[in-house]
Amino acid sequence: MYFTGTSKIFLLFSLLLTFNVHAGLMGTGDLGIIIERAIGQVKLINTSKRIAIGSIDGLGDLSHASVVFSRDARYAFVFGRDGGLTKIDLLTSKIDKRIIQAGNSIGGAISQDGQFVAVSNYEPGGVRIFDTETLEPVLDIPASYQQGSGLKQSKVVGLVDAPGQKFVFSLYDAGEIWLVDINNPDAPIIRKFKDVGLQPYDALITPDGRYYIAGLYGENGLAILDLWHVEKGIRKVLNDYGRDDEKLPVYKMPHLEGWAQAGNYLFVPAIGEHAVIVIDPDNWQEVTRIKTYGQPVFAIARPDGRQVWVNFAFPNNDHLQIIDVAKMEIVKELVPGKAVLHMEFTPRGEEVWVSVRDEDRVNIYDTDTFDNIAQISADKPSGIFFTHRAHKIGL
C-alpha cells in the first residue's frame, strides 16, 4: 500500500494519539477511598503504589460515612450522615452526581446486578432505592410499623445486598427484619419477619450470602435469618451475648459488618467485655472467648482467614491485636496511635491499611512481618474502602 505525504502524517498523528490515550489509561482494581470525616472530603488512593492520587470535597457530613462500589469498580457511592448520596467517578476524581435523599442516613448497599443502590435512613426512616446510572429514585420503602392505634416509622439499620437481587435490613424501633426482592422494582416483594428481638442495632450477611445476622441491643442474643430457608423464619441464638450481662460501660457498639469469618468459625466482638467470642456456625454455639486488650469494635479477617485483626473502643483505641486463627490466641499487639477507627486489607491480604484518626494518618502494615511499611497523611481519617468490595456480597 502506498501512502502519500499527507496520509503518512495523518497515520503518524493517529498512532501518537492512540499511544498517548492508552498511556494515560488507569485501571480501578487497586484504587480506594479514605473518608476524611471532619472536612466532608474523601481521599483517593492507589493501593499498589501506596499513595494518595487526589481528593474530592463537598460531600457533606461524613461522620458515619460508608461506601459501596459499582460493578465495574469505576464509581463509588458515598452515604453521608446528612442524607447525602454521592456518586464519585474514580477515574476523573470528580463528583458525578450528588443528591440529598433523606434527613439522616446510616449506610447503604448495591444490588447484585449493580443496577440499584439502596440507602437506609434514620430520618424519616425506611429504605430508598435509586438507579445507579442516574441516581433517579426507583423505589421508596417506608419502614412503617404498628404502635398502639397508629403507624410509626422505624430507623433502619443493617442494610445489605443478598443473592437473588434482594436487599435485607432491620427495623431498630419495630424489632423486625425485612427481605425485599427487587427483580421487578415496579412490584417488589417484601417479606416481613416480626418479633425478631428488641432493638436490632446492626447486622451482617455471611460472605456466602446465606445467613443474615442481626445483633440485639435491647436484649441478649442474635437473630438469624437463613436465606436458603426463609420459610423457617427467625432463629434466636447465643442468649448470653448482649448488654444484659455487661460488666463494663459500652463506649461503642461493635460493628457487625466488622465480624470475621475465618477458618470454620466466626469471630465476634463481645458487647461490654474485653473479649472476642468464637462461634461455630454449624450449630451457632460459642466455642471459646479470646481475652483482648479492650472492648472490640471491629474484628476483621485477613483474606486467607489465617489472621483476625481487632481494634477497640475508647479509651483503648490506640491498640490493635492480631489473633492467629490456627492457634486461637493473640500473637501480636501493635500501637498505631490515637483513635484507630478502621482497617482494610488489600485484596489478597499482604497488607492492611489502618486509619489513625487523631494523628491524621493511615498506617500500612505488612501482615506477615507486622512492620509499618508506609504512611499516608489524611485529615481525621475514618473508613477505608477498596474497590475489590465491588465483587463481594454484603460489601
pLDDT score of 13: 47
CB–CB of 133/120 below 8 Å? no
Cα 355 to Cα 40, 279, 288, distances in angstroms:
16, 28, 29
CA-based nearest residue to 89, from 128, 42, 49, 47: 42
CA 39 to chain centre: 21
CB–CB of 227/167 below 8 Å? no
pLDDT score of 20: 43
Beta bridge partners of 41: 36
CA-based nearest residue to 226, from 256, 206, 197: 206
Report the 10 Å Cβ neighbour count for 304.
Answer: 14
CB–CB of 356/369 below 8 Å? no
Q: CA-to-CA distance for 295 and 346, rounded, in angstroms?
A: 25
What string of pLDDT tens digits covers the 395 residues of the chain? 544 555 555 544 454 444 444 446 788 999 999 999 999 999 999 999 999 999 999 999 999 899 999 999 999 999 999 999 999 999 999 999 999 999 999 899 999 999 999 999 999 999 999 999 999 999 999 999 988 888 999 999 999 999 999 999 999 999 999 999 999 999 999 999 999 999 998 899 999 999 999 988 888 889 999 999 999 999 999 887 765 555 555 555 556 666 888 889 999 888 878 999 999 999 999 999 999 999 999 999 999 999 999 999 999 999 999 999 999 999 999 999 999 999 999 999 999 999 999 999 999 999 999 999 999 999 999 999 999 999 999 99
CA-based nearest residue to 200, from 167, 223, 227: 223
pLDDT score of 251: 52
pLDDT score of 9: 52
First to last CA, the chain: 55
For 21, which DSSP code?
Answer: H
Q: CA-to-CA distance for 13 and 176, rounded, in angstroms?
A: 64
Q: CA-to-CA distance for 234 and 223, rounded, in angstroms?
A: 6
Classified as helix, coil or strand, 16 is helix
pTM: 0.91
Q: CA-to-CA distance for 56 and 257, rounded, in angstroms?
A: 26
Q: CA-to-CA distance for 272 and 72, rounded, in angstroms?
A: 40
Q: CA-to-CA distance for 346 and 50, rounded, in angstroms?
A: 11
For 270, which DSSP code?
Answer: P
Could you give the domains of the chain? 61-245 (2.140.10.20)
CA-based nearest residue to 376, from 339, 77, 384: 384
Q: CA-to-CA distance for 381 and 356, rounded, in angstroms?
A: 7
Q: CA-to-CA distance for 100 and 206, rounded, in angstroms?
A: 30
